[in-house]
Amino acid sequence: MSKKLRANWRIGLLSVVLVISVILSGLVWVMPYRYEHPNEATAPRVTSVATMAQENLYVPTMVVKTGPDREQHLLFNQPQNVVLTARESLRKWTLQKGKQVSADNPTAYREYLRQSNALVLSYPSAVAIATFNTTFNQKLSAKDLTLVNRIVIPLTGQARIYLLRDQGTVVYRYQVNAQRLTKLKASLLGGRRLPVEYRWLNNQLVLTYPHAITLPTYRAAIEQQNVDSLAQTLLNSAKGKRLAQRVEGNQRIYHNGSDKRLVYDQAQGTLTFENYLSQPTRYSLQTVYAHFFRRLQQTGIIQDQLQFDTFDHAKQQITYRTTVEGFPVYNEDNYGTVRLRESETGVESLRFSCYSLTTPLPTKQSALTLPATAVVFNGLQAVGKLKDVQGLRLGYWWHSDPTAKEVTVRPTYLVKYKGEWVPYQTLMHEGGQPA
Amino acid sequence: MNFKRIQTIFIVAFVILDLFLLASYAWGSQPMVTNSHQNQQVALRRQMRADDIKLPLLSDQRQSGYYVLVTPDQNLVKQTQNLAPLKNATIQENENLVTVTYDKPVVLNSKTTAPAKVAPELTHQKRLVAGNHYLYHPDLSTSKTLVYSQELQGRPLLDSAGELRIFRNASGAITGYTQGRLSNSKLLRSRQPTISQLEAVNWLYKNNQLANNSKVRWVKLGYTKLQCSDDQLIYVPAWVAEVKNQTSGAGHLLRVNAFRENLIKVP
C-alpha cells in the first residue's frame, strides 16, 4: 500500500496543485464582479478621504429628544448642530454585538422610540447599513440589519445604541465602546424645540405636532447654473467644442450624437439628462447609495444644502433635496431637487433644476404659525382624503420665481397623498395655495 | 525524458502558477476606493512637485464653521475721535475703516515693544480703541506693519473689516494704524462641516490658482466676507493661503470658501 502511494505521490500532488489553480483561476476570473458589487454581508471599508463628502450627504435630518417623563420634542436651530455633533461623536465610538430585540411589533417599536432620556435621529427614509457605516465610521454587518431609518441614543450612559428599521418594525441593540456623551449633550442647548408625538398612520410612522406650532422663515440666495457648461460636463464634451443643440418650443435639447441627451425646459428651469448605457447595471442595496453619490459628484450640479431624501429600490431611483436646518424644501417645479435613476433597460436618467439655494441670508419676514397636526388630519378626513395619506412631514415651501435672486421659504405641512408630497392646503380645496 | 521527470516539471510549473494566481487574487481584493483615492493624492503631489510648487505640511482633518451675519462698528470713528491723546492726530474714515496718523511717532518702552503687546499698550495709553480685543498674527506681519485680527466663533477674522494694522517706522516707533471693527455677530444657520486644509490646496492647484515655481507659505482657516446684505455682512469660514513666487518673492493671498470650494475674491 505504502509502496503504491510512494510510487504515485507525484500524481496525487499534481492533482492537488491542478485543483488549486483551477479554483484560483475561477476566483480571479470573477473579480471584476467583486469590484462593482462588494459582498452584501461585509459593508465596504471606510476610507478617511473619499467618503467625507458622502457622509455630508447621507445624514439623519430630524432630531427628537425624549425627556425623563417621556415627553418628546423636535430640536432644530441648535447652534452646535446636533446631527453634526452626533456624527463627530459616533465616529469615535465602536458599535458591536448587534442583537435583534424586537420585530413585527409596531407597539413595541414606538416604545423604543419613546424611551426616556434618549435622542432619536431619523433619516428622511431608510439608508443601507453600508451607508450608515460610511457616515458614522462603523463596521456593522449587513447580515444583521440591512436598512436603517432611525438611531436611538440613550443619554443616560448605558453604553447602548439602537438602530431601527421602519419596514417590519425591526429594532437592533448594539453595545458601544468608548462612548462619551459630553459634547452631544452640550449640543442640545439653545435653538428651538417643539412638542411632538410619534403616531402610526396607515402603517406609516408619522411625527405629529399636538399643538399649533410657530416656525421661523428662512431666506437664502438663489444661484442659477449655467446650462451650457452643465451640458458640457454631462455630455463629456471637450471645452470650447460646441455641442449639437436644437430648440423645440420651450425646450432646448443638447445631444452628443450617440448615447447622451440633455433636455432643458426653459419655462420650468428643469433639466433632464439621459444616458443610454451599453448594458443595464444592477446595483446591490448596500452599494447603490455610494454609486448614486459618485454619479452626483460627476454631474457638476451645485450641492449646497443638498441632502439625501428618498430611495426607491424597485425603481432604482434616488432623490436628493435641499434642506434648511434639517427641514425638506419643496417647490412646484422641483427647484432644489435632484433625482437619479438607473432603469432596468439600461437608461441612466437625471432630473434636476437649474436653480439652487446657496448662501443663507437674514430673514425679513416674521415667523408663521401652523395648526396642530390633528387639525390637518380632521380637515383631510372631512374631504375624505385621509385614508389615502401615506405620510406627513414638516417642511418649507419655495415659491417658483425664475427671475428672483433670493427667496424666503415658508413653513408648511407636506402630505404624501397618492405617492406625491403636496402642501396640505392644496388637498383641503382644489387649487389651494400654500400659506 | 522519463514520465517521472515530466510529472515533476508539471508540479513545479503548477506550484508557480498557483503562487502567481494567489498573489494576483490577494492584490485584486484590496479595497479599490482606498487605492484609487490614495493614488490620486500621490499623483497630485507628484504633479505639484514637477511644477515646482512647494507646500507646507497640510492636514486632511475636516473642520466646521458658521454662516455669520455681522455689522461693522459704526461708532468706531466717534470713539477714536474722543480719545484725548489723539487731539492733534489725523483721523480718517473710509468704508468703516479708521486710519489714524499720530502727530508724532509713539515710542514704547522696551517691555511693551514685543509685537503682541503693542496693541494692548496703545489701548492702555488711550491711543487706540479696544486694541486688547485683537490677536497678533506673526505670519501676516512684517517689521514695518504689525497685523492683528478680531475673532469670530473661535477663529480669526481674516479680512480688513476685522483687522488692525499698526505701522512702525525704521526706528520701531509707532506712526499710526488702520482699524476695522465688527460688532453684533449673529449665526444664520447651525454649525456646518468644511473642507480640509489639504482639500483647499488641492482645489487651488486643480483650478490653476497655483502658478509654477510658487511656494505656499501657510494656510489658515478664518472668517472672510462673502457678501453684503443691506448694511450687514455675511461671513464664512475660508482657507486663506499665502502664496509666494519663489524667484521674485512677491506674495499674495488666496481665499477658498471652506463650505463650497470656490474662490472668494477680495476687491
| CATH number of the domain residue B97 falls in | 3.30.310.160
A190 and A228 inside one domain:
no
Do residues B188 and B164 touch, judged by C-beta distance below 8 A?
A: no
The candidate with the shortest Cα–Cα distance to A404, out of A358, A369, A365, is A358
Say whether A325 and B189 touch across the interface (CB within 8 A). yes
- The whole-number pLDDT of residue B97 equals 93
In a domain? residue A72:
yes
How confident is residue B63, by pLDDT bands cut at 50, 70 and 90? very high
- The whole-number pLDDT of residue A282 equals 82
Residues of B in contact with A191 (CB under 8 A): 190
Q: What's the Cα-to-Cα distance from B235 to each of A214, B153, B192, rounded to whole Å?
A: 28, 11, 13
Say whether A28 and B28 touch across the interface (CB within 8 A). yes
Q: Which domain holds residue B123?
A: 72-184
**How far is B71 from chain A, CA to nearest CA, in Å?**
12
Say whether A28 and B33 touch across the interface (CB within 8 A). no
Say whether A362 and B22 touch across the interface (CB within 8 A). no
Say whether A56 and B193 touch across the interface (CB within 8 A). yes
Of A181, A196, A211, the residue that ends a domain is A196
| CATH number of the domain residue A280 falls in | 3.30.310.160
Distance CA A287, CA A295 (A): 13
**How far is B140 from chain A, CA to nearest CA, in Å?**
29
Residues recorded for chain B: 267
A83 and A168 inside one domain:
yes
How confident is residue B265, by pLDDT bands cut at 50, 70 and 90? confident
| Beta strands in A216-269, from DSSP E residues, in sequence order | 218-224, 244-248, 251-255, 260-265
**How far is A65 from chain B, CA to nearest CA, in Å?**
17
- The whole-number pLDDT of residue A3 equals 65
B204 and B250 inside one domain:
yes
In a domain? residue B22:
no
Is pLDDT of B267 > 80?
no
Element at A206 (helix H, strand E): strand A204-208
Residues 6+ apart with CB under 8 A from B255: B158, B224, B238, B239, B240, B241, B263, B264, B265, B266
- The whole-number pLDDT of residue A83 equals 96
Say whether A20 and B25 touch across the interface (CB within 8 A). no
Which residues of chain A approach chain B closer than 8 Å at the C-beta? 10-11, 13-14, 17-18, 20-21, 24-25, 27-28, 31, 34-35, 44-45, 47-52, 56, 77-81, 84-85, 191, 221, 304, 324-325, 358-362
Domain count, chain A: 2
In a domain? residue B128:
yes
Say whether B7 and A10 touch across the interface (CB within 8 A). yes
In a domain? residue A4:
no
**How far is A181 from chain B, CA to nearest CA, in Å?**
18
Say whether B24 and A28 touch across the interface (CB within 8 A). yes
Q: What's the Cα-to-Cα distance from A413 to each of A193, A377, A392, A434, B222, rounded to whole Å?
A: 17, 11, 7, 9, 38
- The whole-number pLDDT of residue A239 equals 59
Residues of B in contact with A130 (CB under 8 A): none
Residues 6+ apart with CB under 8 A from A276: A259, A260, A346, A347, A348
Per 3-state DSSP, chain A is made up of helix, strand and coil in percentages (nearest 5) of 25, 40, 35
Domain count, chain B: 2
Do residues A134 and A173 touch, judged by C-beta distance below 8 A?
A: no
In a domain? residue A268:
yes
Q: Which domain holds residue A164?
A: 52-196
Say whether B22 and A52 touch across the interface (CB within 8 A). no
Say whether B18 and A34 touch across the interface (CB within 8 A). no
How confident is residue B134, by pLDDT bands cut at 50, 70 and 90? very high
- What is the pLDDT averaged over residues B165-174? 91
pLDDT tens per residue, range B245-254: 988 888 899 9
A147 and A243 inside one domain:
no
Do residues A260 and A234 touch, judged by C-beta distance below 8 A?
A: yes
Say whether B187 and A79 touch across the interface (CB within 8 A). yes
Residues of B in contact with A25 (CB under 8 A): 21
How confident is residue B2, by pLDDT bands cut at 50, 70 and 90? confident
Residues of A in contact with B190 (CB under 8 A): 77-81, 84, 191, 325
Backbone angles phi, psi at B127, to 5 degrees: -110, 5
pLDDT in tens, chain A (435 residues): 566 666 678 888 888 888 988 888 877 776 544 333 333 333 332 222 333 478 899 999 999 999 999 999 999 999 999 999 999 999 999 999 999 999 999 999 999 999 999 999 999 999 999 999 999 999 999 988 999 999 999 999 889 999 999 999 999 999 998 788 999 999 999 999 999 999 998 888 999 999 999 999 999 999 999 898 888 888 876 655 667 888 998 999 998 877 889 999 998 899 999 998 888 888 899 999 999 999 898 888 888 889 999 999 888 999 999 999 999 999 999 999 999 999 888 899 999 999 999 999 999 888 999 999 999 999 999 999 998 899 999 999 999 998 899 999 999 999 999 888 999 999 987 544 444
Which residues of chain B approach chain A closer than 8 Å at the C-beta? 4, 7-8, 10-11, 14-15, 17-18, 21-22, 24-25, 28-29, 31-34, 37-38, 41, 60, 62, 64, 66-67, 69, 186-193, 196, 226-227, 229, 232, 234, 236, 259-260
Q: What's the Cα-to-Cα distance from B203 to each of A50, B198, B220, B261, rounded to whole Å?
A: 15, 9, 15, 7
Is pLDDT of B34 > 60?
no
| CATH number of the domain residue B200 falls in | 2.40.128.690
A252 and A336 inside one domain:
yes
B157 and B89 inside one domain:
yes
Residue in A14, A48, A52 nearest the CB of B10: A14
A139 and A241 inside one domain:
no
B196 and B153 inside one domain:
no
Is pLDDT of B81 > 50?
yes
The candidate with the shortest Cα–Cα distance to A95, out of A140, A58, A55, is A140
B86 and B100 inside one domain:
yes
**How far is A395 from chain B, CA to nearest CA, in Å?**
16
Which three cell numbers mark B135?
Answer: 490677536
In a domain? residue B247:
yes
